[in-house]
Amino acid sequence: KVKMSLGGLSLETFFKMDNFCELLKPALQEYKQQALEKNQPLGEIFELIEALTLMRDQEMAEAGEQRKLEEEGEDTFKIPRILRVVSIKKRKERIKKLRSDTLLKKRNVLQKKKNIGKNQRGWPQRGRLDKREN
């Protein structure tokens, strides 16, 4: 990398600003055309600035490509997550349906056990005996 300073500021700080590069490109192209028409060499500073703007453009293009690749990578990671959520929802629905069936079965079984327990205690017999005596 080439380091130069313009008025106490380095060229790198100037090229970090996107607006500066956009404003500088057309001015450089006009100056280059005028120099070619007059058969004069382009100054070293202008050649350096042109090279730096090209480097900046390449860096921006590479950064854009990397962003696209990262976004595509994120999209590929999102797809299985969505599928997992759907499968989990299906599992939950199945579990809820199974739970309702099993809860009804458990309730019936518990009622039968309760009735059997009452019969074993002899309560219904007492009532029958009381009715017979009256």
Query: Tokens 């499968």 sit at which residue?
Result: 87
How many CB atoms are closer than 10 A to CB 17? 11
Task: With beta carbons less than 8 A apart as the criterion, state whether 12 and 3 touch.
Answer: yes
For residues 5 and 8, give the distance between their C-alpha atoms in angstroms, rounded to a whole number: 6
**Mean pLDDT comparison of 29-33, 40-44, 79-83, 113-117, highest-scoring range:** 29-33
Strand, coil or helix: 42: coil
For residues 131 and 125, give the distance between their C-alpha atoms in angstroms, rounded to a whole number: 10
Residue 114 tokens, joined: 């309760």
pLDDT-derived band at 60, boundaries 50, 70, 90: confident
pTM: 0.38
Residue 97 tokens, joined: 């349906």
What local confidence, expressed as pLDDT, does residue 103 receive? 58
Boundaries of every domain in the chain: 11-119
Q: What are the φ and ψ backbone dihedral angles of 42, each rounded to 5 degrees?
A: -75, 135
